[in-house]
A and B are shown apart, each in its own frame.
Chain A
Amino acid sequence: MKIRSFAAMLATAVALPLGAASAADLEVTHWWTSGGEAAAVAELAKAFDATGNHWVDGAIAGSGGTARPIMISRITGGDPMGATQFNHGRQAEELVQAGLMRDLTDVATREKWKEIIKPASLLDSCTIDGKIYCAPVNIHSWQWLWLSNAAFKTAGVDVPKNWDEFVAAAPALEKAGIVPLAVGGQPWQAAGAFDVLMVAIAGKDTFQKVFGDKDEEVAAGPEIAKVFKAADDARRMSKGTNVQDWNQATNMVITGKAGGQIMGDWAQGEFALAGQKAGTDYTCLPGLGVNEIISTGGDAFYFPLLKDEEKSKAQEALASTLLDPKTQVAFNLKKGSLPVRGDVDLAAANDCMKKGLDILAKGNVIQGTDQLLSADSQKQKEDLFSEFFANSSITPEDAQKRFADIIANAE
């Protein structure tokens, strides 16, 4: 009896890995921990589990700054996870060059990623030396101005239709005790707001020249001086924000304590969570209502090179699951981002998301600064703008000089 049950146990122990030849536990690390984000990840996990594999969740909160050193240490320490989130762009470049990441070209060719992924720049960001190393999952755009309809009603002015009207309405808002523009204390918020202003005021070409070509002269020139003037307005309007996190700033817009916020489309999730409706409760102005252009940054999954064959197979399964039309729809609706493939149906999208989809379809897109600049230049920019927004003694001219220096030294 004992022997038999032992044998049975042994059999199952041996049979399990054999029977499920293509199934494995795959640990996936990411920094999506807020309510909406976690719900979106759950969609990915569900879809992946349906392939017979198992998603082992390795979430680390505190945004990329906390999570990335852990991910990088794990990969370079020789104990990598099965897959990991990074932002599109250049964050994983060196890991790839060090031969630590897995080449996904096979999967990509088999599933025709080159044809389905729109805009193509997303896949370009994943491509190093002609090989594809990551699977993009969504598009996030930065260029949005979110306005609280209630705040403008209180102040007795119409809801602005573009940035200039917004600046003009600021005194009325202030008189009503409302902070015109909410800018949270996290450095990336100030830097991001500046980039958005640049696209809106100086236009797509200037943006490309500054961040794409790293043209120092343009960065020091009159076009950008205008942007700094606008940033100066924004700085004045943001006085009294007194919150750190971006979503707390969004919350000020939701509750009518602030007139507006320049923030990426992920802010939408917060409005949705608060039960607000686009158009009636809040207004969204892509490109600040000036230049309807959106950037196409976002998130992508990278796959460290693993020795275990089972897990390598599971990685392939995950990569193709991430780009599956059904997963794309389910994930992006929850995340508030746009799908990376143009052939999926997003009927459930709300007004603002539809505006974004339209702009995307028209091809009015630019690359995100994460794709154009190195993390190092991004950080320097963050330092500059977080200081600029908090300290009114820095003149726009001085700030522009420092900005041009950063661009001159950018790679």
Chain B
Amino acid sequence: MSDIVAFNSVADEAAPQAQADRVIAGPRGRKPRRALSGRNIMIYGTLIVVALYYLLPLYVMVMTSLKGMPEIRLGNIFAPPVEITFEPWAKAWASACTGLNCDGLSRGFWNSVRITVPSTIVSIAIASVNGYALANWRFKGAELFFTILIVGAFIPYQVMIYPIVIVLREMGIYGTLTGLIIVHTIFGMPILTLLFRNYFAGLPEELFKAARVDGAGFWTIYFRIMLPMSLPIFVVAMILQVTGIWNDFLFGVVFTRPEYYPMTVQLNNIVNSVQGVKEYNVNMAATILTGAVPLFVYFVSGRLFVRGIAAGAVKG
């Protein structure tokens, strides 16, 4: 029990700073070793095998998306295409049909952007302030609400559809973009608040105390001191939210109207439509295209991601 207390009061310790530095500095070895030791072969061997396991599905997806249907029916899914065709990609992007609208994924792309950008910003802004309040400005009852919030992370979304429909209807924002942004903010809140709370708790308390002595208040400290130090955790939050919101299908269709339908609606239509034959190549191309934005975000910010997680997740 005592170590729980110890862990919960890490805000008192300055250690995280050293830690953060090391995270930034990257990996370090345990002991000096030769380049081609048996140990190295084992490590790299394992990692390469694992990497192949992770890459295999992507490889199959890309290869399949470049094949024509006759070739797919005949062949081996792992074989590279005999004849490369970009037609499935063109079809997935521009001409696959959703009911009467035959303009592919392109139709929903901008909607997805319109949904993802504000939802990500709003949910992160709110969760970061929550986390900051929980870490540095605790008030009576805050932990109770936080506990409820964490338990909320375990509720299946589908169960909440009706209550939320009712709440949004009573607020008069059912079917609007605002409503959808609120829904995304709500469901992103548990994990994000947990991460921000842990991150802010890990920052040296001296900084906070010094600012307080200088007379800075809640918002001043947040904007002047906490924000500038928090790039990594914001990157983590951004990645989690962009991924989650971009890939969301259920909320996108239940809480908005067709003019806001995100790209995943078309993806669902392309993948789930019962056509004469399943067009695996178009499915795969559509799949990759839909995943492109989160993937891009990963590749660009991968480095910061681990740093941010390091800082946000380490402390319980």
- Using a CB–CB cutoff of 8 Å, the interface residues on chain A facing chain B are 27, 29-30, 32-35, 38, 41-42, 45, 55-63, 66, 69-70, 73-74, 76-79, 245-248, 251, 270, 273-274
Contact = CB atoms under 8 A, between A and B. Distances in A.
A247 B275 CA distance: 8
Interface in B79-117: 97-101
A57 B254 contact: no
A32 B275 CA distance: 11
B42 interface: no
B243 interface: no
A39 to B, nearest CB: 10
Given A59-B269, A69-B161, A251-B276, A79 B257 contact: yes
A45 B98 CA distance: 14
A62 B272 contact: yes
B253 A34 contact: no
Nearest to A76: B165
A34 B100 contact: no
A66 B165 contact: no
A60 B265 contact: yes
Contact of A41 (B100, B268, B275): B100
B174 interface: yes
Interface string B156-175: 00000110010011000011
Contact of A77 (B100, B174, B270, B276): B174
Contacts of B101: 57, 59
Interface of B: 97-101, 161-162, 165, 168-169, 174-175, 253-255, 257-258, 265, 268-278
Contacts of B258: 27, 29, 56, 58
Contacts of A70: 253-254
Contacts of A59: 98-101, 269
Given A56-B258, A79-B257, A246-B274, 17 more contacts: A33-B273, A34-B275, A38-B99, A57-B99, A59-B98, A59-B100, A60-B269, A63-B272, A73-B161, A73-B255, A76-B169, A77-B169, A77-B174, A77-B255, A79-B174, A273-B276, A274-B276
Q: Which of A27, A38, A56, A63: most chain B Cβ within 10 A? A: A38
Q: Which of B101, B161, B270, B275: most chain A Cβ within 10 A? A: B275
A324 to B, nearest CB: 19
Given A35-B275, A273-B276, A78 B268 contact: no
B283 to A, nearest CB: 12
A41 B253 CA distance: 21
Given A38-B99, A45-B100, A60 B277 contact: no
Q: Which of A79, A245, A274: most chain B Cβ within 10 A? A: A79
Contacts of A78: 169, 174-175
Nearest to A45: B100
Nearest to B158: A69
A62 B268 contact: yes
A368 B262 CA distance: 36
Nearest to A30: B99
11 contacts: A32-B99, A33-B273, A34-B274, A55-B100, A57-B99, A60-B268, A69-B254, A74-B175, A78-B175, A79-B175, A270-B276
Contacts of B275: 34-35, 247
Contacts of A251: 276-277
Given A42-B100, A73-B254, A245 B169 contact: no
Contact of B272 (A42, A57, A66): A66
Contacts of A270: 276
Contacts of B273: 33-34, 61
A245 B257 contact: no
Contacts of A41: 99-100
A58 B272 contact: no
B98 A33 contact: yes
A63 B277 CA distance: 17
A55 B99 CA distance: 12
Nearest to A243: B278
Given A62-B272, A69-B161, A38 B169 contact: no
Contacts of A77: 165, 168-169, 174-175, 255
A23 B276 CA distance: 36
Contacts of A55: 100
A76 B162 CA distance: 9
Contacts of A247: 274-276
Contacts of B255: 73, 77
B102 to A, nearest CB: 8
A273 B169 CA distance: 44
Contacts of B276: 34-35, 247, 251, 270, 273-274
Contacts of A27: 257-258
Contacts of A79: 174-175, 257
A54 to B, nearest CB: 12
Given A56-B258, A60-B265, A79-B174, A33 B97 contact: yes
B172 to A, nearest CB: 8
B73 to A, nearest CB: 10
B175 A33 contact: no
A34 B175 CA distance: 27
Contacts of A32: 99
Contacts of A74: 175, 257
A33 B99 contact: yes
A248 B99 contact: no
B279 to A, nearest CB: 11
Given A66-B272, A73-B161, A58 B99 contact: yes
A248 B253 CA distance: 27
A57 B97 CA distance: 11
